[in-house]
A and B are shown apart, each in its own frame.
Chain A
Amino acid sequence: DAKTTQPPSMDCAEGRAANLPCNHSTISGNEYVYWYRQIHSQGPQYIIHGLKNNETNEMASLIITEDRKSSTLILPHATLRDTAVYYCIVGNSGGSNYKLTFGKGTLLTVNP
């Protein structure tokens, strides 16, 4: 079973911030939160990951709650090209038993 819960779909206006929530209430202490996105007809693309601190890169920001049971991916100024399925994943770091388990994700539609 998937370890994360995401809304199936969200809309956002172009130029506005898109805030994508994810619940991961059973996350364990050594598990990271990762976000990927999949634009239509392409393979998934890594966005960002974090353990317990908030993270920011050129694509997005990741806010993780203090109890680590939920997180939010923020696209600060959404564009039409950000329309995609966004996947929130939890998993262990590296090692021989590492694997990524994807859920169904959130379809984000950015509207003009």
Chain B
Amino acid sequence: DVKVTQSSRYLVKRTGEKVFLECVQDMDHENMFWYRQDPGLGLRLIYFSYDVKMKEKGDIPEGYSVSREKKERFSLILESASTNQTSMYLCASSFVTGVFTEAFFGQGTRLTVV
């Protein structure tokens, strides 16, 4: 079974803390993505990566950074967590092919910043 694993299901952090959200996929996918999901706003793309050490901003990158040092791992970093970053965070991965194939999502990390 294909798998995208996010390191934590639930996380509580304090305002101003540096927060790392980790995502690992075991499918040798080139593409990896970070989304956040908020009620009424749907899924919004934060960052994505199409190769090791490559990254591109999504629609809402402000306040976030990412790291992709190895193909299987994509980390989302909140340099200084704020309460408006309380959200559900979803990681996904997919192949790079001539014809699109499906993206696989992790179960999500519900982050609360207090």
| Complex contacts, A100 vs chain B, CB 8 Å | 33, 45, 92, 94, 103
B12 at interface, CB cutoff 8 A: no
A28 at interface, CB cutoff 8 A: no
The reply to whether B100 and A91 form a contact with Cβ atoms under 8 Å apart is yes
- List chain A positions with a Cβ less than 8 A from chain B: 2, 32, 34, 36, 41-46, 49, 87, 91-105
The reply to whether B90 and A43 form a contact with Cβ atoms under 8 Å apart is yes
Q: Which residue of A has the minimal Cβ distance to B44?
A: A102
With A99-B45, A101-B59, A102-B43 as contacts: A94 and B105 at CB distance below 8 Å: no
* Majority-rule SS of B interface residues: loop
**A34–B43 alpha-carbon span in the complex (Å):** 15
The reply to whether B105 and A34 form a contact with Cβ atoms under 8 Å apart is no
Candidate in A100, A103, A105 with the most chain B CB atoms within 10 angstroms: A100
Candidate in A34, A91, A99, A105 with the most chain B CB atoms within 10 angstroms: A99
The reply to whether A43 and B107 form a contact with Cβ atoms under 8 Å apart is yes
Residues 71-112 of chain B: 1 if any A CB is under 8 Å from the residue's CB, otherwise 0? 000000000000000000010101111111011111110000
